[in-house]
Amino acid sequence: MELIDGKAIAATIKKEIAAEVEKIIAQGGKRPHLAAILVGHDGGSETYVANKVRACEECGFTSTLIRYEDDITEEQLLAKVDELNNDSDIDGFIVQLPLPKHIDEQKITEAIDYRKDVDGFHPVNAGRLAIGLPCFLSATPNGIMELLRRYNIETKGKKCVVLGRSNIVGKPMASLMMQKQIPGDATVTVCHSHTQDIAGECRNADIIIAALGQPHFVKADMVKEGAVIIDVGTTRVPNATRKQGFRLCGDVDFENVAPKCSFITPVPGGVGPMTIVSLMKNTLLAATHQIY
Ligand code: GUN
């Protein structure tokens, strides 16, 4: 069994991006600039956004954090999105989700100029991914593809089971794994809450990508000997012995599953750090107009 070290790969990629940025600056170019809008004080969102701002610093990007209280109106938020769309200094921006109930997330996502949508959530980017055109790729699936690439994990002709059908992870992940490319060229099955025999589907899989948000859902008896396991789960489970009061729990019963695998990602330190690095990559692509 080989542990996939997302933290180490992410650190390497951040250095690669920083070197690229310095080259751009040396040639008289502009420093990439990412903006993030954070509404309210959700603990998870606060952490994610703080990590994104820190990653910008590590990559040599400029970052702008725009904060609002929970009571911001949809109109006010739409006006800010419009302002960022038209700010030529901002190369890309994100609106951290979830948003308060009174704001329509889809409306906000669609208001973002798809050429600045470094999250890859806009229907134009999601649609272009589905038909294999260049686009901003959703960060978590793109980070997973990078891990598969850097660990030379064979995907061509392999049976890949994706657990979860979210717009952010499951659907784009399935698209990327079935794409005519390497990594890719896999035979993909997407499982969800109405799948009849998830355990049976998993037992057939060469690669399992678990993105359900259900702690320890994937058990050892659901995994084929030699399978590749990618764990996207990051549920916060209360834990009094931890300084933060919780620990992150993956969708995979790591302790019992790991001995059966050829490769497995840990939680934390697997997929998580790659997600942020993918956002940095998209921002660099936006700043250098490599997609649009
Ligand atoms: N909430 C959880 N993950 C994400 C993400 O990747 N981007 C945004 N904007 N919000 C999120």
Structural domains in the chain? 28-134 (3.40.50.10860), 139-272 (3.40.50.720)
pLDDT of residue 271: 98
Q: How far apart are CA 280 and CA 14, in angstroms?
A: 8
Token reading at 97: 């989700």
Residue 199 has a pLDDT of 98
Query: Which atom of ligand 1 is the closest one to the Cα of 119?
Result: 7
Residue type for 93, please? F
Query: Average pLDDT for residues 159-171, to the nearest whole number?
Result: 98
Residue 172, C-beta contacts closer than 8 angstroms, at least 6 positions apart: 120, 126, 129, 137, 138, 141
> Using CA atoms, how far apart are residues 165 and 188, in angstroms rounded to an integer?
12
Of all atoms in ligand 1, which is nearest to the CA of residue 279?
Answer: 6
Q: Whose CA is nearest to atom 7 of ligand 1?
A: 96
Predicted pLDDT of residue 240: 95
Could you read off the pLDDT of 17-58 as tens digits, one per residue? 999 999 999 999 999 999 999 999 999 999 999 999 999 999
State pLDDT tens for residues 174-217.
999 999 999 999 999 999 999 999 999 999 999 999 999 999 99
Q: For ligand 1, which residues put their CB under 6 angstroms from it? A: 94-97, 119, 139
Tell whether pTM > 0.95. Answer: yes
DSSP letter for 222, please: G
Residue-wise pLDDT for 138-156, tens only, equals 999 999 999 999 999 999 9
Cross-strand partners of 87: none
| Distance (Å) from CA 81 to ligand 1 centroid | 16
Q: Which residues are catalytic?
A: 52, 96, 119
**Cβ neighbours, 10 Å, residue 95:** 24
195, 189 Cβ separation under 8 angstroms: no
Q: How far does the centroid of ligand 1 lie from the alpha carbon of residue 203, in Å?
A: 31
Question: Can you give the pLDDT at residue 122?
Answer: 98
